[in-house]
Amino acid sequence: MGSFSAQQIGWLCTFAVFAPFISGTLVGLFGRSMGPAIASHITCWAVGLASLVALLLFVLIFQEPLFTLKGNWYLWGVIGEMPLSVGYLIDRLSIMMMATVLSVSFLVHIYSIGYMKNDPGYTRFFAYISLFTFAMLMLVVANNFLQLFFGWEGVGVMSYLLIGFWFKKDSANLASLKAFVVNRVGDLALLMGVATVAWFFGSLDYSTVFEQVGLIGNVNANMTIGQFTWPVFTVIAACLWIGAMAKSAQIPLHIWLPDSMEGPTPISALIHAATMVTAGIFMVARLSPLFEQAEGVLNAILIIGTLTAILTGLMGVVQSDIKRIVAYSTLSQLGYMAVGLGASAYAISIFHLMTHAFFKALLFLGAGSVILAMHHEQNIWKMGGLKKYLPITHAVMILGALSLVGIPPFSGFFSKELLIEAAHYCRLPAAGFAYWGLVLSVFITALYSFRLLFVVFYGKTAAKNPEHIMESPPVIYIPLLCLTVPTVLLGIMLVDSVLFERFSAAITPKPNHDVMRVLYGQFEWEGGMIWHSFSSLPFWLAISGIVSAWIAYVKYPGLPAKVVEKMEWIYRILCAKLGFDAIVAYAILPAIRGLSTFLGQVVDRFVIDNIGVNGVAAVVMRCTKMIKKCQTGYLYHYAFTMIAGLLILWVWMN
């Protein structure tokens, strides 16, 4: 630990987590009176200092693979007999996430100074992203399920507010609503998973739960749900995975992510590419002891991850909005990470998460720079030939795309190559499908990435006044340049220690799942891995994807139209996003609206209220009306009734 005591590490972590909270709250509450300049200074400094601290902790802790430090900030409450605290758990996994989140967040903060300039919601924006960073950090450092859920929903809300940041746009408001509600479907499952954990283990503390998993281990614990009996671990892991599917946008809960592009571009980079959407991947890695006990769920993760990687990649190929292309690329990469989880190569998924965070943030911010230069035009067909106007943006985006495609020796190569290898060596039944799916989608990745680059930066320009297009100011391109460093170097720097030491003492796959050991056995050194890749299928698929893109969009620009003509139905299906949105719009939503109207108008208002409540009242009314008729007011009526009554009484008495 060098010269730092455990207590000091705890303090540093506390600072890193709460600095964005304090700055965000201050700016959120008093932003209007402090003015834009002060607001952005406060948040940038706070997040900047916090990210320095996180990098310091990263350097300190990454050398000690077994380092684990747990502490509590305060007691949230004692529910039943179960004490719940808010605190932190620092190990390699959480510190790596902290460093990634904070450094990307810091660069996005800086970038936003330029990007959001003159926006009426400038201070609000900075308050939101700082608070988002805080919520994400709470999720990452959580040492129990309650705090995990707090951070989980916290990032969801900040994402909701940021997607709908331009609240005058109806499409943005709709997208934010959609994002939140779809995420809530996942949260529902996550909450059920957490509740099942609380019921079965009697605790929500990670370490207590994991200890008990170790003890219970292979014993088949079952539970009954309705009529059926299920293994408890399968139920828990399935629930948690559905939660992860919504947040990490796996098919079919991915529908919110493309629409979330309605938010400002820095947000798309920070939340919908680098950090928040990877929370599901992180959560599964963090809770891997639970997933290790549920092979069925691991198989499901492999299949869903693969489908996501292929299908969303294909959808990305036909998009024409620059941000949406990158968004579909994010979806596809999240599919890769999910496959890593399914193959029990948690550390490699986290490794890809980390490299992806940087190169995808780079691509998004680069796209933002293009959008800014094009005066908020996002259609790639209205760009073209921008290379000479935006040399810096062009250069960094090429680097980002090479990393994304997995060309050695860029970062993305190492993490992606290892993911594919992990699927290859995994022994689960679904692994074969996963392996070939990932290999295939390497080609798709290369195709859509370079389609984007070639259409935007090469060929003839379609812009109306090209002479007005200017490279973005330094406040925008300096963060881009900073991001190129990890985009290029991170993989080669970390691959050895990732394979050798994994990320956390808590991540220990079952012996028969341990593909990491196989991978490490194969690994010699970084150069060897690169050399080996030149004779591997994924590398050549990537190259052929790039070449195809070059042929189709630079060499013979008429080709795509001809291909579309030939296979129009495929093109149509892809453009319709495989119908997922249509199912929601034309089946699910009308069904819910109809059910709601039926229950509200027919059952509640008519049956219960009109027939039930008012019906009783009406019956009472009618009875009283009938009885009222007896009270005629005529004396002879009363006299007659009296005499008749007396007679009846007399007869009856005798």
Partner 1 sequence: MVFFQELPLLSLLIWLPIVGGIVCLAFARYLSPSCLKQVACLIACLELFLCAVLVQQFHSETWAMQWTEHRVWLPNFHIYYHLGVDGIALPLVVLSAFMTFLVVLATKTSTLTRMPMYLSLFLILQGLLCGVFLSMDAILFYVFWEALLIPMFLIIGIWGGKNRVYATLKFFLYTFLGSILLLVAILYCREMANTAMPGSTDVFSIAQFQTLSLSLLEQKGLFWAFLIAFAVKVPMWPVHTWLPDAHVEAPTGGSVILAAILLKVGGYGFLRFLLPIVPDAVHFYQVPMIILSLIAIVYIGLVAIMQSDLKKLIAYSSVSHMGFVTLGFFVGSVMGIEGAMIQLISHGFISGALFFCVGVLYDRTHTRSIKEYGGVVNKMPLFSGLFVLFALANLGLPGTSGFIGEFLVILATVKTQWLFAGLATLTLVLSASYTLWMTKRVIFGAITTPTVEKLSDINAVEKSILGALAIVIVLLGVWPAPVFQSMKASVQHLHTQAQRSKLFHFR
Name which of 177 and 554 has its Cβ closer to partner 1. Answer: 177
Minimum gap (Å) between residue 84 Cβ and partner 1? 9
What is the DSSP code string of 597-627?
HIIIIIIIIIIIIIIIIIHHHHHHHHHHHHH
The correct pick among 181, 485, 582, 585 for binding partner 1 (CB under 8 A) is 181
The correct pick among 559, 563, 613, 649 for binding partner 1 (CB under 8 A) is 613
Tokens of 297: 């769920």
Q: Is 591 in the site for partner 1 (CB under 8 A)?
A: no
CB 144 within 8 A of CB 89: no
Distances (CA, A) of 340 to 184, 283, 306, 320, 398: 25, 13, 10, 30, 26
Q: Is 604 in the site for partner 1 (CB under 8 A)?
A: yes
Minimum gap (Å) between residue 613 Cβ and partner 1? 6
H helices then E strands: how many in the chain?
27, 4
Q: Is 584 in the site for partner 1 (CB under 8 A)?
A: no
The correct pick among 5, 118, 168, 376 for binding partner 1 (CB under 8 A) is 168
Q: How far apart are CA 154 and CA 141, in angstroms?
A: 14
Name the one range near partner 1 by CB under 8 A: 91-99, 223-231, 251-259, 308-316: 223-231
Residues 136-155 that bind partner 1 (CB under 8 A): 146, 149-150, 153-154
Distances (CA, A) of 3 to 6, 60, 71, 488, 567: 10, 10, 20, 31, 65
Minimum gap (Å) between residue 462 Cβ and partner 1? 31
Minimum gap (Å) between residue 350 Cβ and partner 1? 25
Q: Is 595 in the site for partner 1 (CB under 8 A)?
A: yes
Distances (CA, A) of 68 to 10, 46, 115: 11, 26, 39
Residues 60-79 that bind partner 1 (CB under 8 A): 74-79
Parallel/antiparallel/unpaired status of strands 69-79 and 228-231:
unpaired
Name which of 167 and 556 has its Cβ closer to partner 1. Answer: 167
Minimum gap (Å) between residue 294 Cβ and partner 1? 16
Residue whose C-alpha is closest to residue 601's, from 614, 592, 610, 613: 610
Q: Is 180 in the site for partner 1 (CB under 8 A)?
A: yes
Tokens of 197: 């954990």
Q: How far apart are CA 212 and CA 93, in angstroms?
A: 21
**Residue 83 DSSP SS3:** strand
Residue with tokens 């319709």: 576
The correct pick among 217, 429, 579, 600 for binding partner 1 (CB under 8 A) is 600
Name the one range near partner 1 by CB under 8 A: 96-104, 177-185, 444-452, 522-530: 177-185
Tokens of 79: 């529910």
CB 384 within 8 A of CB 460: yes
Name the one range near partner 1 by CB under 8 A: 157-165, 358-366, 460-468, 539-547: 157-165
Name which of 82 and 639 has its Cβ closer to partner 1. Answer: 82
- Site size toward partner 1 (CB under 8 A) is 56
Name which of 170 and 565 has its Cβ closer to partner 1. Answer: 170
The correct pick among 192, 395, 489, 573 for binding partner 1 (CB under 8 A) is 192
Torsion of Cα atoms, 578 then 581 then 587 then 590, to 10°: -170
Sorted by sequence, the CB contacts under 8 Å of residue 445 that are 6+ apart come out as 313, 329, 332, 404, 405, 406, 542, 545
Which positions touch partner 1 (CB under 8 A)? 74-82, 146, 149-150, 153-154, 157, 160-161, 164, 167-168, 170, 173-174, 176-177, 180-181, 184-185, 187-188, 191-192, 195-196, 198-199, 223-226, 235, 592-593, 595-597, 599-600, 603-604, 608-609, 612-613, 617
